[in-house]
Amino acid sequence: MNITSKPNALLMAMMAAVALTGCGSDSDSDDSSDNDSDVAAYTTLQVNAASYTDWQYVDLESGAVLTLTAEEAAASTEWDIALRRTAIMLNGGDSGPGSVQAAVADAQDEFYDDEDAANASVFLNADADIEAEALSVAYDTSTLTYQADANEPATTDWYSYDFTTHTISADTSVGYLLRHADAATYSKVFITEVSSSGISLSYVTQAADTVQFAETEVTFSATFADDASSSDATLICLDLDTAAAVDCDSNEDWEWMYQYDAANRAVNIWTNGGVYGSGNAAVFGPISSTDLADYTSATNVNGYDISSHYSTDSSTGLFAEQSWYAYNLEGAHKLWPNFRTYLIDLDSSDESSAQIALQVSDYYSLGDSGSPEIRFRTLATEE
């Protein structure tokens, strides 16, 4: 399993202290759009990104959608961005093997009020051709903040760090409610021990189609593989249904994946679903151990349904933080673009690499939702 590490601030301090070092869809594309004499030519690409599971991978330099599986894309630097419904992913950071980063060049602040709410009048009256002029501006890139994509685990605050010994230990003052990969089984979990060698758990389970925890407590421990040269030596996948560690690549039924990766300065617990794995696992917590001990159900507390309180891991990035659209303006259940202009640095490790000015100009370009239209050109330079 190819896991990209998520650095943790405490572990980074620890490592510093010890001196450790989808199936692609066809798209319609206009080769180059000469809009008028005042606007430089840009490329328009209409992408069929309607799938809820498969990404469409785009090479911005060639202006084409590439036919790549998820496995191929995970090892490829040919694509620059990927689209799936409203989401946009960069080939860099935690999302790919490349070095792509992005920044907001024109935030379109006038599309929002002082409380950051969408100004419906501005959105509904925006002229797409006029907004395209922002693609031709010679932006001063030295004033912009670029960022790569990053993955965020939903399971947080589960260990303590000792600055004297530079080791981690389980924070036994908290526990978690964990939804299993089957989306029907739940457990009340306490992490009893963690280290660079492995992890130990104790838990009780609420079986599928039941509403309370069983009385039998289960405990088990798992240790990392001995082969330190293997990437999987830093990963343990935990199947709470069988109380065993399972192979992360061949088994899809795990709930938690424990990652201790000293080389990449990362310690994380990932759920099966959201970022890694194809399951439906999710977590609710941390909850104080004292309070959690009194929970008799993972789905109902004092008559309240808490099944919607569970969270999965998430992938964050510039396009998630600085969205390209507004939804449901004046009660219409549609998306409207805000024509924000993003700069895509195709290789942040190379100061001379190309930068692309990009806008998302439509979400219904092929007639239905999930078909975003992007338009882009190589960043203009001052003469």
287-342 pLDDT, tens per residue?
Answer: 999 999 999 999 999 999 999 999 999 888 999 999 999 998 988 889 999 999 99
Q: Between 7 and 263, whose confidence is greater?
A: 263
Q: Which tokens go with 373? A: 């239209």
Q: Which tokens go with 257? A: 């994946």
Q: Which tokens go with 267? A: 């310690």
Whether the link from the prior residue into 286 is cis, omega within 30° of 0, is yes
Distance CA 334, CA 363 (A): 9
pLDDT at 228: 45
pLDDT at 28: 52
Distance CA 77, CA 79 (A): 6
Report residue 8's pLDDT band, with 50, 70 and 90 as the boundaries: low
Most confident range, picked from 7-16, 199-208, 262-271? 199-208
Task: Provide mean pLDDT across the span 266-280.
Answer: 90
The secondary structure of residue 119, as a DSSP letter, is -
Report residue 206's pLDDT band, with 50, 70 and 90 as the boundaries: very high
pLDDT at 338: 97
Q: For residue 227, is pLDDT > 90?
A: no
Q: What is the pLDDT of residues 69-121, one digit of tens each?
A: 988 998 999 999 999 999 999 999 989 999 999 999 999 999 999 999 999 99
Q: Between 97 and 166, whose confidence is greater?
A: 97
Mean pLDDT of the chain: 88
pLDDT at 225: 79
Distance CA 76, CA 97 (A): 7
Q: What is the pLDDT of residues 355-383, one digit of tens each?
A: 999 999 999 999 999 999 999 999 987 65
Residue 68's closest CA among 55, 49, 81, 80? Answer: 55
Distance CA 70, CA 88 (A): 15
Distance CA 273, CA 277 (A): 5
Report residue 275's pLDDT band, with 50, 70 and 90 as the boundaries: confident
Q: Are 383 and 150 in contact (CB under 8 A)?
A: no
pLDDT at 234: 87
pLDDT at 315: 82
Q: What is the DSSP string of 36-88?
A: BTTB--EEEEEE----SS--EEEETTTTEEE---HHHHTT-SS--EEEETTEE
Q: Max CA-CA distance within the chain? A: 75
Rg (CA), the chain: 24
Whether pTM exceeds 0.75: no
Q: For residue 263, is pLDDT > 90?
A: no
260 CB-near residues (< 8 Å, 6+ apart): 194, 195, 196, 224, 234, 266, 267
Q: Which tokens go with 327? A: 């939804």
Distance CA 289, CA 104 (A): 43
Task: Provide mean pLDDT across the span 345-362.
Answer: 95
306 CB-near residues (< 8 Å, 6+ apart): 177, 284, 298, 299, 300
Q: For residue 20, is pLDDT > 50?
A: no
Residue 4's closest CA among 146, 152, 103, 147? Answer: 152
Distance CA 335, CA 86 (A): 9
Supply φ then ψ for residue 175, to 5 degrees: -145, -175
Distance CA 335, CA 197 (A): 48
Q: For residue 5, is pLDDT > 70?
A: no
